[in-house]
Amino acid sequence: MVRPDVQMKCPKCSVNLQPTIRHKIKVNYCQSCKGMWLEHDELEELEDEVFDFGDRWKGTLVFSSASTTDKCPECSALLQRFRYRLYEIEMDFCPNQHGYWLDDDEDTRVLELMKREEADLKRKLLAEDKWAGTLRHMRSPSFFSKLRDLFHR
């Protein structure tokens, strides 16, 4: 949610952040470096634009992080850099859980990754369902009867 009462500065270039809408989400945007500040829940909202299976299937967001010299636009704490869900995207987060800094067009890359994750998960769940059906069929009395008849001939 964009905070109209507080003028936040870009942690990268110190320009005033401007409220804007990207991918249906209100964010604070830097017109200079094209980065954006997403408040804590807004990253999840962004992912949920394309990923319908819930948080437990997304995987861990941050495995490890390292300090940066950039400051949180809300509380001035030093941001922490991490690899987003172990993908090649690096982004920063506020250790006080205020939000995430995404560089130019990383929001679009997050959406692309979540779309790919959802497609892979759908394929996996479909394969597991088919395998479970095969196992049920193999355990059925009719299957065992056919198998027994095959060996008793």
- Cβ-Cβ contacts under 8 Å for 122 (sequence gap 6 or more): none
Helix (H, G, I), strand (E, B) or coil at 123: helix
Domain positions in the chain = 18-119
- Cβ-Cβ contacts under 8 Å for 65 (sequence gap 6 or more): 80, 81, 82, 93
The CA distance from 12 to 33, in Å, is: 8
State the pTM of this model: 0.71
| CA angle 56–73–37, rounded 5-degree value | 45
Task: Quick: pLDDT tens for 16-42.
Answer: 999 999 999 999 999 999 999 999 889
The CA distance from 63 to 12, in Å, is: 23
pLDDT at 134 over 80: no
The CA distance from 15 to 37, in Å, is: 13
Task: Quick: pLDDT tens for 65-91.
Answer: 999 999 999 999 999 999 988 788 999
